[in-house]
Amino acid sequence: MTITESPESLTSSSDDNSNLRRRRGGGAKAVEDVTESDSSSAMEASSSSDDVTGDGGDGRFSDGNEIQEEQNDKVENEEQRKATQTTPLKYVYRASAPAHRRIKESPLSSAAIFKQSHAGLLNLCVVVLIAVNSRLIIENLMKYGLLIGSGFWISSTSLRDWPILLCCLSLPIFPFAAFLVEKLAQKKYMTERVVVALHIVITTAAILYPVLVILRCDSAFLAGVTLMLFACVVWMKLVSYAHTSYDMRQLAKSVDKGEHSDVNYSYDVNFKSLAYFMVAPTLCYQLSYPRTACIRKGWLARQLIKLVIFTGFMGFIIEQYINPIVQNSQHPLKGDLLYAIERVLRLSLPNLYVWLCMFYCLFHLWLNILAELLLFGDREFYKDWWNAKTIDEPVHKWMVRHIYFPCLRNGIPKGGAMLISFFVSAVFHELCIAVPCRLFKFWAFFGIMFQIPLVILTNFLQNKFKSSNVGNMTFWCFFCILGQPMCALLYYHDVMNRKGSAS
């Protein structure tokens, strides 16, 4: 908003204009325009000031006018910007002009803190985080030295994991079997019940086969986890392929019967589309996907460099921080409670860094690299889960498409559908950790299922305090700070106890 001038200033401006006319005949018209602009600006500012102080006669805004206030702020900033650009410097920000025109909150007050950008504070947090952790890394290296051994990346014991590699290479047999089943179903050589039964057999074999290989072979933990993750991805892709194909057959039958005749629908079983789906960075099958035009080689090279850097940083944190803390700890359920809490809190920070690096490397860098190589267009591999207000907010597309909504369509209530979704997730989390450890204590299973009461808790807190921050802080506390370090300690000591009893 422009600045008002006193009558004396307007008079002086008129005198100045007269002097300028006498000295510069060619510029008189421009000075007159400036004077008229200042006079109109002064009238606008005066009327705006009357609006502020004239609401009810007490100088306050009535409740419920927050939107109007924001619009007035925008108008005020725009007018002030224009006035500053067009008005000469001697007419701007006069001492007689009022500096306080509106009722406003402090930027850090609760009423205004979420209505503005905090990029500067975020940059400060990043700088402080880098400085503090750099000091901790240097202090750790000076005290303990470099703890990463020569066999960190590869060792002679890795040669015994060749059955794991052969199992990974043989897993494509199951997608090929699923394609044959769908091809026979398209030609109507078998009934729907037989098709569903065969898909159940194929998907079950696809997950049990790697489990048996890992349990029978003395493989390393990392190799077993990699195989189980790969097997779980294949299982989820096969379920999506079978479920989507079944749904497309049902739609094709409804079109043949005259239902939805206005829909142009064709059902096709294509091996090329299945092969692309099995290597594409998605778990949801469809006949075609949005595609990009070309491969950006420079961008791809930068992502590969980032992947190497963050993978090395993740390995450094594991070897330099997490392993010593875990090895020098006691079982969290068998020792002193305060000591267990101290170990968990000490482990939480490096564990959080590893988890964030793993997420960034897997779900952002690797999936984007794979998508770029395959010209896969849809790069929304994750939502903004870090802003989650409740525990149940970060839900995967596959879970929604093939578990949650099918349960709702079959008459299962929303709570039951959510319970089934968490149960499926808990089973596969347990398989990915317990099978490579050869230890079934169900810590990962109970950790996932424990999120159900946390969902109720975060929803209650969010409704009670009318703030999303409470639910988001609860999410971070239980999801990353307490839950994962506790599971790491439990599995480590149980594995060590099993090895000690076996020896």
Cβ 473 vs Cβ 388: under 8 Å: no
Q: How far apart are CA 128 and CA 141, in angstroms?
A: 20
CB neighbourhood size of 8 (10 A): 10
Which residue do the tokens 């990962």 mark? 444
Report the pLDDT value the prediction gives residue 147, as an integer from 0 to 100. Answer: 79
pLDDT per residue as tens, the chain (503 positions): 443 433 333 344 444 444 444 444 444 343 344 344 444 444 444 444 344 333 444 443 344 445 555 666 666 666 666 655 666 666 666 777 777 888 888 877 777 776 777 778 888 988 998 898 888 888 888 887 887 765 555 555 555 678 888 999 999 999 999 999 999 998 889 899 999 999 999 999 999 999 999 988 877 788 888 999 999 999 999 999 999 999 988 888 777 666 655 555 667 788 999 999 999 999 999 988 999 999 999 999 999 999 999 999 998 888 888 888 888 777 777 767 788 788 888 888 888 888 889 999 999 999 999 999 999 999 988 887 777 766 554 457 899 899 999 999 999 998 899 899 999 999 999 999 889 888 888 888 888 888 888 878 777 877 777 766 777 777 777 777 777 788 888 888 777 766 666 65
- The domain spans of the chain are 103-109+160-290, 292-375, 386-502
Return the active site residues: 429
**Relative orientation angle of helices 221-256 and 192-216, to the nearest 10 degrees:** 180
Against a cut of 0.85, is the pTM above it?
no
Cβ 374 vs Cβ 280: under 8 Å: yes
Q: What angle do CA 194, 196, 199 make, to 5 degrees?
A: 105
Q: What are the beta bridge partners of residue 291?
A: 376
Which residue do the tokens 């349960």 mark? 407
What is the SS3 assignment for 196? helix
- Nearest CA to 224 out of 163, 174, 278 is that of 163
Determine the distance from the C-alpha atom of residue 226 to the mean position of all C-alpha atoms in its chain, rounded to a whole number.
Answer: 23
DSSP code per residue over 155-167? -GGGGGGHHHHHH
Q: How far apart are CA 491 and CA 75, in angstroms?
A: 60
Q: How far apart are CA 345 and CA 484, in angstroms?
A: 11
- Nearest CA to 355 out of 391, 333, 385 is that of 385
